[in-house]
Structure 1
């Protein structure tokens, strides 16, 4: 049974000429995909005018609030006393966001209450996933 946690956050876009002071975003965690978190941005907050969703590891976010983490498209690092920097790298460019660390820690606490760190594998339905994979291969 899937259980989903969603939390709205406000992120400050670091840009030479920002279009908006803060960018609304929604953090989302689904127990059916226990290793990942998603960060969604509504259409008005994106250059393309369509909702953008970034998926990345929950562990990456958890590590990044305390120390620099990530080598790929998503990088997370502490910034000052109460902010965390989230960098989103895409072919079109890089978005650098400042998010309040307390909001990220609150979200992570809620996810760990649902699926404790280290127990993610217990929430995977490998038999169902294998069945879907084999069904799609035929």
Structure 2
């Protein structure tokens, strides 16, 4: 069984320009980092022309499907019947994308089959993480 889940999603980039731009994006989940999900935007979809990856809590994505969630760099909230808004805040500005809520639910269901909610701590390798932390401190 693979320990990594990737799912392509269609993101609608919301900008001050009235046109809605469709950008490809990839949601990712790795059992070795059980609390986090990643969203990757390919180089052509970014202002800088380089791939951009955001990591945030799986719990934040789950909560944001039902109500506004997040106070930091990533915020998630429901929008309309079957859309969810993800906001990514950086020094360069804010990017807002709409994604079908059904796609996010399907992705989260797959992550929960791999690592059930509340069981994440069983998938952490604290000894390895501590060794790596101490190696960098020396």
Distance 1:85 1:106 in 2: 16
Map 1:7-26 to 2 at 5 A.
7-17=7-17, 21-26=21-26
Give, in whole Å, the separation in 1 of the partners of 2:77 and 2:19: 24
Match of 2:38 in 1: 38
Count of aligned residue pairs for this structure pair: 138
- Please give the TM-score of this superposition, normalised by the length of structure 2: 0.95
TM-score by length of 1: 0.95
Mean alpha-carbon deviation: is it higher for 12-21 or for 52-61?
A: 12-21
* 1:11 CA displacement: 0.6
Structure 2 unaligned blocks of 5 or more = none
Match of 2:111 in 1: 111
- Per the alignment, residue 64 of structure 1 pairs with 64
User: C-alpha distance in 2, partners of 1:20/1:69?
Assistant: 24
User: Which residues of structure 1 form unaligned runs of 5+?
Assistant: none
- TM superposition outliers: structure 1 runs of 4+ over 4 Å: none
Q: CA RMSD in A?
A: 1.6
